[in-house]
Structure 1
Amino acid sequence: MAKWLMTLGGAALAMLALRDVFHTLWHPTRHGGLSRRVMTVAWVLSARFGRRRAVGLAGPIGMVVVVALWAATVITGWALLYWPHMPDAFSFAAGLEPERHTGFLDALYISIVTMATLGLGDIAPAEGWLRIIGPLESVVGFALLTATVSWVLGIYPALARRRTVALRIAQLRRAGLHDQRPPTPGACAALQGLAADLAHVCVDFRQYAESYYFHDGDENTSLAANIVYIASVADRIPPDADADTVLARDLLRASLRDLAVTLDERFLHTGGTTRHVLARYAEDHWGTTKS
């Protein structure tokens, strides 16, 4: 009975890790708890150092730790699945004494070799159902590697889009957008384009929530350092402006509101207004707000 309880426990542990991978990469929800907690801890710890370089490393280090935990959990789960059935359910290469390979470290070795698809063959499953479970771990290992690559290839373009939007806002600020009363037709078109770009950023935060824990670098490429400014631009457009200007203002406000809702629901949990949430986001990433 104890043997099968350990087997079920190992299977449950492996499924727990795979569930987190699924909800982090392919079905982003709040159920991807492991990755979210690790990234949050990395962010908080880096912020306590009070140095920009440490904060900049929080995201990459957090991703490395998350992937390592996924792999370690799956490997441990499969090792617990193998362990109770050693050595009777396994075949051993010539020269190996089965009775000397019954410990957890031996099961862990088999699990690592199988997941890494090394195929050494010195210890291999021999019992029917284990001969299916073993290759299945290799498939999971390959899928985890593929998922990790796709995660990296998804997050970094999202970061690039966010930093591009921040740079665009910084450019509009340096061009004197704030001083145009009312904004010129060209400025209105720029605000409408910016509203569309902010909508993309909002989707990125939902699809790749871990991207929140990446620092954006210098002031010009930091959305947090510029977000309050662009919100103030929208608020200064008078209600009696022409129709195109009002449309640009309303679109920008809607994008900012959607972004604030996403940030508050998933990361900040302030329950405040759009301006309050955006200011809190600026403080969390940049330590100050700019308007």
Structure 2
Amino acid sequence: MTMHNFYPLLGAILLFLLAWDVFATVFIPRGLSGPFTQNSHHLFWKLWHRLNNAGTQKARRRLSRLGPMLVVVTVLVWALLLWLGFALIFYPYAAGFHHGTHSPSNWITAVYVSGYSVTTLGVGDIVPTDGNMRILSVVAAGSGFILISIAVTYLLSFYAALGRVTALAYEIHRFLGKSDGFRPVDVVITAVTANCIEELTNWLADIGTKLSEVLMAEQQYTLLNYFHEPDDMALPMALTEVLELTTLCRSVLSPEAYPSLANGLVTAGTERLTRGYFEALARKFGGVVELHPEASQNRKMHFDHVRQELERAGVELRDPEEAWNIYNTMRQGWEIPCHTIRVLFGYPGFSGLELRVP
């Protein structure tokens, strides 16, 4: 193969990979991005996490900047690949382009013509004289216009999905009263003593519906996983409270006295959806969690303390041994993936668990 054919072929391959990357990232809602986007996101995440994994508030703020930076990087990489792809195709024919009074090098000419074509500037001081190259410059301009339109539409849709994620986290925090010092056990006590169990069940059903929408959005917009908001708008922190709430309802409360909370479909379904959120992210981002004896001790102390509070409030409870066995099993099921994601994303983890990132 001659060099005259090598550069256009390389440019065509680059444009094909770019088209596939944009198509897979924007139009295929299956949780995967194209080859450039997916690999660059993963690489940036690993590097940025290593640089900002100090466990301090300042490090968490720096870690939270990765998401917005990846948005900019994604759009810039698409634009640069489009520019470079057409420049490689133009390069062997650049010597035959019509210039004004000045004749720059072939590379400068190819990059210049490709740049003003894909950006639709249409300067025209250097123009192709060959008919095929003129048609190609029109194709380049059309490709640039399409890419700009797709990028703008993608960003608008992406930030709308991000708004739904932060709104869900904010709603959970405010409803459970986290900012006012309330805990899941306080919500359970209020629901039982104020005779508003149905209201709590309806709210859990609504949270389950909204969480399903968020999970679908994260399948389509993988960039959402890299946005880490402050605590009152952080979904991993909010969903931890939902898991604790549903675990208490299903393990500690008497199923005879409160069947909808202890054995109801809504409580169980919301718990499964929430646990699945953490398990899916833990599989994606990896990491190994080591459990120390302190973890089991803390879990038992927390259970005993919560049970005592519920007893003092007059809430009817399961047999202590049965309740502990159910609570311990459920808590073990979501504690490790929950701890993994919270620590990886810069939030506080659970005492007695240690995450090791390969």
Smaller-chain TM-score bracket:
0.7 to 0.9
CA distance in 1, matches of 2:276, 2:237: 18
Query: Superposed, which structure 2 residues align to 1:96-107 within 5 Å?
Result: 96=102, 100-107=103-110
CA distance in 2, matches of 1:244, 1:125: 74
Query: Superposed, which structure 2 residues align to 1:236-275 within 5 Å?
Result: 236-238=248-250, 240=255, 242-245=258-261, 246-268=264-286, 274-275=334-335
Show the counterpart of 2:233: 221
Show the counterpart of 1:24: 25
CA distance in 2, matches of 1:273, 1:238: 14
1:227–1:278 Cα contact (<8 Å) kept: no
Show the counterpart of 1:277: 337
Show the counterpart of 1:55: 63
1:196–1:255 Cα contact (<8 Å) kept: no
CA distance in 1, matches of 2:144, 2:183: 53
CA distance in 1, matches of 2:287, 2:207: 25
2:250–2:267 Cα contact (<8 Å) kept: no
Percent of paired sites with the same residue: 23
Partner secondary structure for residue 349 of structure 2: coil
Structure 1 regions of 5+ residues with no counterpart?
none
CA distance in 2, matches of 1:130, 1:265: 48
Once the two structures are superposed, residues 132-189 of structure 1 have per-residue CA deviations (whole angstroms, 9 ceiling, x without a partner) of 2111111111111112212221221222111111122212332554231676111111
Once the two structures are superposed, residues 230-267 of structure 1 have per-residue CA deviations (whole angstroms, 9 ceiling, x without a partner) of 11211222362655331221220232244235424544
Instruction: Give the letter aligned to residue 9 of structure 2.
Output: L
**Superposition deviation, residue 41 in structure 1:** 3.6
Show the counterpart of 1:127: 130
Partner secondary structure for residue 98 of structure 2: strand
CA distance in 1, matches of 2:207, 2:350: 18
**Superposition deviation, residue 116 in structure 1:** 1.1
Partner secondary structure for residue 127 of structure 2: strand
Q: In 2 relative to 1, CA 248–289 (structure 1 residues): closer, same or farther, beyond 3 Å?
A: farther
Please identify, of 31-40 and 173-182, the stretch whose mean Cα deviation from structure 2 is larger.
173-182
Show the counterpart of 2:221: 208
- How many residue pairs match? The answer is 285
Instruction: Give the letter aligned to residue 32 of structure 1.
Output: G
Once the two structures are superposed, residues 191-233 of structure 1 have per-residue CA deviations (whole angstroms, 9 ceiling, x without a partner) of 111111111111111010011111112x111112222221121
Instruction: Give the letter aligned to residue 13 of structure 1.
Output: L
Please identify, of 179-188 and 246-255, the stretch whose mean Cα deviation from structure 2 is larger.
179-188
CA distance in 1, matches of 2:106, 2:333: 58
Query: Superposed, which structure 2 residues align to 1:70-219 within 5 Å?
Result: 70-88=78-96, 90-93=97-100, 95-96=101-102, 100-174=103-177, 176-179=183-186, 180=188, 184-217=197-230, 219=231
Instruction: Give the letter aligned to residue 53 of structure 1.
Output: R
- The answer to whether residue 242 in structure 2 is matched with residue 230 in structure 1 is yes
Structure 2 regions of 5+ residues with no counterpart?
290-331, 352-358
Query: Superposed, which structure 2 residues align to 1:35-54 within 5 Å?
Result: 35-47=37-49, 48-49=51-52, 50=54, 51-54=59-62
Please identify, of 66-75 and 259-268, the stretch whose mean Cα deviation from structure 2 is larger.
259-268
CA distance in 2, matches of 1:118, 1:43: 35
Partner secondary structure for residue 268 of structure 2: helix
CA distance in 2, matches of 1:290, 1:187: 26
Q: In 2 relative to 1, CA 227–270 (structure 1 residues): closer, same or farther, beyond 3 Å?
A: farther
Please identify, of 259-268 and 245-254, the stretch whose mean Cα deviation from structure 2 is larger.
259-268
Partner secondary structure for residue 205 of structure 1: helix
**Superposition deviation, residue 270 in structure 1:** 6.8
Once the two structures are superposed, residues 34-90 of structure 1 have per-residue CA deviations (whole angstroms, 9 ceiling, x without a partner) of 2233333443444423423322221111111121111111111111100111223x3
2:109–2:126 Cα contact (<8 Å) kept: no
